A and B are shown apart, each in its own frame.
Chain A
Amino acid sequence: ETGVTQTPRHLVMGMTNKKSLKCEQHLGHNAMYWYKQSAKKPLELMFVYNFKEQTENNSVPSRFSPECPNSSHLFLHLHTLQPEDSALYLCASSQTDREQFFGPGTRLTVL
């Protein structure tokens, strides 16, 4: 595959479940990002990783836990989410300070 891929594409979970979102980039980039897109709100940056090191956490609740084992993979671990966390979660990658490329997103519904 090429570009940025995300799995799963759709996820429905209860508030007590634990699940993980996965992102993989095949572009040789060194920076990866998680964004949240809720209805009628601008995209919100959640986390930034540069060379596997987290460089930004935009006041994201601890029920969202990112993991970046290498520069090609990024995970978002989810636990005890709330219904208001239902959104489209987008992953992106770039060379640092360069054009960002996005994956197709994971549509998350929390019941």
Chain B
Amino acid sequence: KQEVTQIPAALSVPEGENLVLNCSFTDSAIYNLQWFRQDPGKGLTSLLLIQSSQREQTSGRLNASLDKSSGRSTLYIAASQPGDSATYLCAAPYSGAGSYQLTFGKGTKLSVIP
């Protein structure tokens, strides 16, 4: 069974700062990993899907890395903005009983202070 841990649980940074969010997973036999953003009371927005064959995936100011051997992924946010304030969720797949499932971490709540 897959277990996903995200550190820190909450993070507060001044606007403009670069930051890193961490995700670790127990079952390294994954073929992709997905990062999401969730605003309060809302659904999840997919940010990046990184394949196991990739080491990094970039979208705008976001960069996700994946190290399967150590069971870790990081999400790097450059030049943070107040609009980046949200909860960021990491999800790793688990193939249980023939179906594809995502196991989620509890998330990192990010506050970017103007």
Contacts and interface: CB of A to CB of B under 8 A. Distances in A.
Contact of A50 (B41, B45, B99, B103): B99
B66 to A, nearest CB: 14
A104 B42 contact: yes
Contact of A105 (B31, B43, B103): B43
Instruction: Name the interface size band of chain B.
Output: 20 to 34
Contacts of A40: 106
B44 interface: yes
A100 to B, nearest CB: 6
A56 B96 CA distance: 8
B97 A56 contact: yes
Given A55-B98, A107-B41, A42 B46 contact: no
Contact of A45 (B34, B102, B106): B102
Contact of A90 (B32, B43, B99, B107): B43
Q: Is the interface of B mostly helix, strand, loop or mixed?
A: strand
B43 A103 contact: yes
Contacts of B77: none
Interface string B6-41: 000000000000000000000000011010100001
Contacts of B106: 40-42
A56 B99 contact: yes
Contact of A99 (B34, B43, B105): B34
Interface string A1-25: 0001010000000000000000000
A105 B34 CA distance: 19
A98 to B, nearest CB: 8
B49 A55 contact: no
Interface string B79-114: 000000000010101001111111111110000000
Contacts of B34: 99-100
7 contacts: A4-B43, A42-B4, A43-B89, A88-B41, A90-B43, A97-B31, A97-B93
